[in-house]
Amino acid sequence: MAGRCILILGGARSGKSSLAQNMAQRLGGKVLFVATGAPLDEEMRARIEGHKKNRPRDWLTLEAGADVGDSIMTHIGDAEVVVIDCITLLVSNILLVGGNKEKDGADRIDYASAESRVVSEITSLIKCVNSAQATFIIVSNEVGMGLVPPYPSGRLYRDLLGKANQRLAQRADDVYLMIAGIAWQLKGVE
Element (H, E) at 34: strand 31-35
End-to-end CA distance of the chain: 21
Three-state DSSP at 84 gives strand
CB neighbourhood size of 55 (10 A): 18
CB neighbourhood size of 54 (10 A): 10
Question: Is the bond leading into 86 cis (omega within 30 degrees of zero)?
Answer: yes
Upper half-sphere CA count for residue 167 (Cβ side, 13 Å)? 19
75 is catalytic: no
Radius of gyration over every alpha carbon of the chain, rounded to an integer in angstroms: 16
Q: What is the Cα–Cα distance from 23 to 13, expressed in whole angstroms? A: 17
**Residues 83 and 156 sit within 8 Å (Cβ to Cβ):** no
Q: What is the DSSP letter of 47?
A: H
Identified catalytic residue from 4, 30, 38, 51: 51
Q: Which residues form the catalytic set?
A: 51
